[in-house]
């Protein structure tokens, strides 16, 4: 009898990185998720995703019906109803395109249909502005969509797969937006490690809706007219409960994602240097890379500053944020979205952070830094922001919100 | 495809209803009667899409009951065209990918004139430009936005009063726009398989047209005139009678276009004066004799084109 041979070491095959821009990387994730119905309508900067999908389908790389719609309103109605039938679907848009589709977008969440859509964030008209702003995506903060915000092309692609897993979970059944900072993610090419077909199959079960619009499932009546006296508030509560349940499902999904792909992400909040930080820069999206760079430089000079990145705005990770900001003397919110005439002239993300901090035992000085109208920020601007935040700890600031990149009057 | 007949006599109309009790439409509601006939003709393997309007709000409401015994889904007022494409696409793709068993399933949008001729016009047009089969758009035309309290739509006839186009001292006519012809619009889509007009009378004409549309091999549209007692200020007892008078006065022409071939289904001979149709409806009560004569003249002129189209077997556009 021969000796027992030692087992060869287990190797996880690591797919080679590809150089893809954000649009392509998202499209690849949609392909690997085996999406059935896609509806497209052009508006930049998101359009490239649909261009990529259309050519993949045309070349037989995967089977899906891509419908060239007549408008964003139709685009979102198409995927909403395809989802009701039981198809896995994908759509997306930017800026005024989303505004045009608002009605269809809102009813999708209230019908609890797990549509996944990408937003290449863009300033809203008028005037026509191709710059990056968050106002289009944040417009849909209040209607039951889950909203995640990617920092890198790799993360955007991975988030797409996770979005399907979370949205389609029976405990959730809510639509999901993946926000990509327009141009900074959509148009920037970086090395991306794709999710393999095998990883995707393990991670993402097929979409099995509890009720399908299909004669084989019997007669169902969906979204019928209701009397508020019957189930008005209960129906709203059901959607709210689903958004709250999504928090747990998101945690599980990212854990499983790490298990199958080896790529780990903190589910809700990513921090750098926050362990002993006295100052924090709070933001999200692609410019986080620059903000982290600035904070890192200042740290090397001995400043106790850290960064906090939100990966989701809906559901909003309030408890997690409170925990990381605990003990911080001053924090600055850096954002690209605004609400005209808002309290103290502050931005949309500030309102979320300030509301959260209202519950804090000791509140840090909170300032808001606004990059509006799509003009490109630079590392210099973020450095100014950090200095202002640190200064506010010993010198009372004159105002809550500061506009940057503004010609004439600045910080 | 031929103009085959599925229902030869009233005796062949199936007894089973897919649009049943539990609705709260007005007495004598034309669209409700239409829904009943259309759903009977389409049969059980059908999904209905209902854009907002009377056929949404006045059905499936009270105590969360539903009159539909086939799958039904609401869509937004402007979403009918797109919603149907989503449903048809999902069915076809799931079947193609082996995720659902192969089967013929009808997708029928029951959209009001406001939904289809106005706000959902572009989505409807998109829908007609695709090649999904067994996809039928029914424009149920009660000639105004009834659910919101009788406002003019672009299919409201000349001379009708609505709450947005009341007849008054300075504007004595009421609505002065001419009715948009949705069937002609549909027919303008290249390669559209089947387009027809219909009303409640004769009922078999409507039901057979639904059958032909669904079997046509592509997207189709039927523009159905359906009297509405509330908005027309007519007697609930006159709903079918008004459908018939619309045909006999030439106010509504029954025709179909099968793969580009035009066919006139009925010729009023002799044609009754439109007065007989108008005087049963309060919405025309302000019209003077000469206004009714003017309308009658308009009908006469339009009919030259329907006859011409019938002669050559192709649509000759009357406007
Ligand atoms: C976007 C939008 N605008 C307005 C309304 C209000 N609304 C509800 S039903 C309706 C009338 C629909 O008219 P029509 O399609 O002709 O159907 P009908 O009520 O006559 O059956 C309107 C305007 C709405 N639901 N959605
Ligand atoms: S208003 Fe007209 S269309 Fe609406 S339910 Fe009454 S009769 Fe029917």
Q: Mean pLDDT, to the nearest integer, of A109-131?
A: 97
Which pLDDT score, from 0 to 100, does residue A163 have?
98
Instruction: Check CB contact under 8 Å for A85 and B90.
Output: yes
Does ligand 1 come within 6 angstroms of the Cβ of B54?
yes
Say if residue A9's pLDDT is above 70: no
pLDDT (tens digit per residue) in A238-276:
999 999 999 999 999 999 999 999 999 999 999 999 999
Q: How many helices (H) and strands (E) would you count in chain A?
A: 13, 16
Say if residue A36's pLDDT is above 70: yes
Judged by DSSP in three states, B92 sits in helix
Does ligand 1 come within 6 angstroms of the Cβ of B112?
yes
Q: Which long-range contacts (CB under 8 A, 24 or more apart) does B5-12 make?
A: B5/B208, B6/B41, B6/B207, B6/B208, B6/B211, B7/B41, B7/B204, B7/B207, B7/B208, B7/B211, B8/B204, B9/B204, B10/B203, B10/B204
- Distances in Å between the Cα of A301 and the Cα atoms of A297, A298, A304, A306, A329 are 7, 5, 9, 13, 18
Q: Phi and psi of A187, rounded to 5°? A: -105, 0
Nearest residue of chain B to residue A106 (CA atoms): B76
Which element (helix H / strand E) includes B3?
Answer: none
In chain A, what residues touch B56 (CB-CB under 8 Å)?
224-225
Say if residue A104's pLDDT is above 90: yes
pLDDT per residue of chain B (319 residues) written in tens, 0 to 9:
445 688 999 999 999 999 998 888 999 999 999 999 999 999 999 999 999 999 999 998 877 889 999 999 999 999 999 999 999 999 999 999 999 999 999 999 999 999 999 999 999 999 999 999 999 999 999 999 999 999 999 999 999 999 999 999 999 999 999 999 999 999 999 989 999 999 999 999 999 999 999 999 999 999 999 999 999 999 999 999 999 999 999 999 999 999 999 999 999 999 999 999 999 999 999 999 999 999 999 999 999 999 999 999 999 887 7
Q: Is A214 on the interface with B (CB under 8 A)?
A: yes
Average per-residue pLDDT for chain A: 95
A87, A215, A231 ranked by CB distance to B45: nearest? A215
Cα maximum dimension of chain B: 65
In chain B, what residues touch A230 (CB-CB under 8 Å)?
63-64
Q: Phi and psi of A301, rounded to 5°? A: -85, 5
Residue in B33, B67, B142, B227 to alter for ligand 2 test, most ligand atoms within 8 A of Cβ: B142
The larger pLDDT score, comparing residue A45 to residue A409, is at A45
Which residue reads 């019997």 in tokens? A218
The pTM is what?
0.96
Contact A119, A132 (CB under 8 A): no
Say if residue A112's pLDDT is above 90: yes
Name which of B192, B201, B215 is nearest B41 in CA terms.
B215
Q: Mean pLDDT, to the nearest integer, of A141-149?
A: 98
Which pLDDT score, from 0 to 100, does residue A13 have?
61
Q: Is A80 on the interface with B (CB under 8 A)?
A: yes
Say if residue A410's pLDDT is above 70: no
Q: Which ligand is nearest to the CA of B110?
A: 1
pLDDT (tens digit per residue) in A310-333:
999 999 999 999 999 999 999 999
Q: Phi and psi of A397, rounded to 5°? A: -70, 150
- Residues paired with residue A368 on neighbouring β-strands, in sequence order: A333, A401
Which ligand 1 atom sits closest to the C-alpha of B141?
16
CA angle A247, A248, A252 (to 5 degrees): 120
- Taking each helix axis as running N to C, give the angle between helix A348-357 and helix A318-325, from 0 to 180 degrees, rounded to the nearest 10: 70
Contact B108, B146 (CB under 8 A): no
Q: Mean pLDDT, to the nearest integer, of A61-71?
A: 98
Say if residue A1's pLDDT is above 60: no
Say if residue A12's pLDDT is above 60: no
Q: To the nearest whole percent, how much of chain A has pLDDT over 90?
A: 93
In chain A, what residues touch B105 (CB-CB under 8 Å)?
214-215
In chain B, what residues touch A87 (CB-CB under 8 Å)?
89-90, 93-94
Contact A374, A404 (CB under 8 A): no
The larger pLDDT score, comparing residue A366 to residue A2, is at A366
Name which of A113, A96, A110 is nearest A44 in CA terms.
A96
- The pLDDT confidence band at residue A64, using thresholds 50, 70 and 90, is very high
Residue in B25, B31, B33, B53 to alter for ligand 1 test, most ligand atoms within 8 A of Cβ: B53
Q: Phi and psi of B220, rounded to 5°? A: -145, 165
Measured distance CA(B77)–CA(B53) in Å, rounded: 7
- Distances in Å between the Cα of B66 and the Cα atoms of A108, B18, B19, B50 are 21, 11, 9, 13
């Amino acid at each position: 009898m021969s000796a027992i041979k030692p087992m060869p070491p287990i190797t996880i095959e690591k797919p080679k990185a590809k150089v893809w821009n954000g649009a392509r990387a998202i499209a690849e994730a949609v392909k690997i998720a085996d999406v059935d119905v896609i509806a497209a309508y052009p508006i930049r900067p998101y359009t490239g995703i649909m261009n990529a999908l259309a050519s993949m389908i045309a070349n037989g790389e995967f089977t899906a019906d891509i419908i060239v719609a007549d408008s964003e309103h139709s685009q979102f109605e198409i995927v909403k109803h395809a989802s009701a039938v039981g198809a896995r679907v994908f759509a997306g848009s930017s800026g005024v395109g989303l505004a045009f589709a608002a009605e269809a977008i809102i009813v999708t969440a209230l019908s609890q249909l797990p549509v996944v859509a990408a937003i290449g964030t863009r300033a809203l008209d008028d005037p026509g502005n191709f710059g990056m702003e968050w106002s289009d995506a944040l417009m849909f903060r209040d209607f039951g969509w889950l909203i995640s915000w990617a920092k890198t092309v790799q993360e955007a692609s991975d988030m797409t797969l996770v979005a399907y897993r979370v949205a389609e979970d029976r405990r959730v059944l809510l639509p999901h937006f993946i926000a990509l900072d327009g141009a900074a993610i959509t148009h920037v090419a970086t090395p991306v490690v794709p999710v393999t077909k095998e990883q995707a199959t393990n991670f993402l079960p097929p979409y099995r809706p509890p009720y399908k619009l299909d004669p084989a499932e019997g007669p169902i009546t969906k979204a019928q007219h209701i009397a508020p006296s019957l189930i008005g508030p209960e129906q709203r509560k059901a959607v709210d409960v689903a958004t709250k349940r999504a928090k747990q499902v998101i945690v599980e999904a990212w854990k499983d994602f790490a298990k199958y792909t080896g790529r780990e992400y903190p589910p809700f909040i990513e921090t750098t240097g926050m362990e002993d930080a006295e100052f924090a820069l709070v933001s999200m999206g692609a410019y986080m890379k620059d903000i982290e760079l600035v904070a890192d430089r200042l740290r090397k000079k001995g400043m106790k500053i850290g960064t906090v990145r939100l990966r989701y705005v809906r559901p909003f990770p309030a408890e997690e944020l409170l925990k990381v900001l605990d003990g911080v003397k001053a924090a600055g919110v850096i954002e690209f979205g605004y609400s005209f005439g808002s309290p103290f002239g502050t931005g949309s993300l500030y309102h979320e952070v300030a509301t959260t901090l209202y519950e804090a035992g000791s509140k840090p000085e909170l300032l808001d830094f606004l990059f509006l109208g799509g003009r490109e920020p630079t590392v210099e601007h973020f450095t100014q922001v950090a200095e202002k935040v640190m200064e506010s700890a010993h010198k009372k600031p004159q105002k809550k919100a500061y506009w940057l990149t503004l010609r004439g009057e600045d910080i | 495809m031929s103009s085959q007949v599925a229902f030869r006599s009233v005796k062949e109309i199936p007894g089973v209803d897919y649009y049943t009790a539990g609705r709260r439409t007005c007495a004598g509601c034309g669209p409700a009667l239409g829904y009943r006939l259309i759903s009977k003709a389409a049969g059980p393997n059908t999904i209905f899409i209902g854009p907002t309007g009377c056929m949404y709000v006045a059905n499936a409401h009270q105590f969360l009951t539903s009159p539909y015994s086939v799958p039904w889904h609401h869509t937004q007022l402007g979403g009918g065209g797109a919603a149907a494409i989503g449903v048809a696409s999902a069915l076809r793709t799931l079947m193609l990918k082996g995720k659902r068993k192969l089967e013929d399933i009808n997708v029928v949008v029951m959209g009001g004139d406001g939904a289809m001729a106005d706000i959902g016009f572009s989505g409807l047009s998109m829908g007609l430009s695709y090649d999904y089969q067994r996809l039928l758009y029914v424009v149920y035309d009660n000639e105004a936005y009834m659910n919101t309290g009788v406002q003019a739509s672009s299919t409201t006839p000349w001379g009708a009063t609505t709450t947005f186009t009341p007849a008054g001292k300075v504007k004595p006519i009421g609505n002065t726009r001419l009715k948009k012809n949705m069937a002609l619009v549909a027919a303008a889509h290249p390669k559209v398989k089947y387009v027809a007009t219909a009303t409640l009378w004769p009922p078999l004409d409507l039901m057979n047209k639904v059958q032909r549309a669904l079997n046509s091999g592509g997207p189709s549209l039927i523009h159905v005139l359906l009297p509405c007692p509330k908005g027309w200020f007519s007697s609930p007892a006159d709903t079918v009678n008004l459908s018939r008078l619309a045909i006999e006065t030439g106010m509504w022409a029954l025709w179909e276009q099968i793969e580009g071939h035009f066919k006139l289904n009925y010729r009023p001979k002799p044609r009754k004066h439109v007065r007989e149709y108008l005087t049963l409806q309060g919405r025309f009560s302000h019209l003077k004799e000469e206004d009714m004569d003017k309308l009658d003249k308009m009908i006469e002129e339009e009919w030259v084109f329907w006859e011409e189209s019938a002669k050559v077997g192709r649509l000759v556009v009357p406007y």
